[in-house]
Amino acid sequence: MIFADIRLPGVMDGVDLSWEVKLRWPLLPIILTSGHPLERIRELPPGVAYMPKPWQPLNVLIAAEQASAPARHG
């Protein structure tokens, strides 16, 4: 699983990273976070979760568990 901020130093930010990861490893869960409300949220690939800051460690664990759970088809 990848848990990253939308704002990353360097050439690629978190949104770009999530697109690249989804192309290469489509089943790898990704959660992006940001302290800037809804920053680039509309640009996230399908299946990438967003968690606004501030968050509590327990919330990250719950989100990680949900992101890692197999998709339920109903």
Taking only the tens place, the pLDDT of each residue in 11-28 is 999 999 999 999 999 999
Q: Please give the domain boundaries of the chain with CATH numbers for all domains.
A: 2-68 (3.40.50.2300)
Contact 14, 6 (CB under 8 A): yes
Distance of CA 54 to the CA centre of its chain: 15
**Banded pLDDT at 71 (limits 50, 70, 90):** low
Q: Greater confidence, 37 or 73?
A: 37
Contact 52, 37 (CB under 8 A): yes
Whole-prediction pTM: 0.83
pLDDT of res. 72: 52
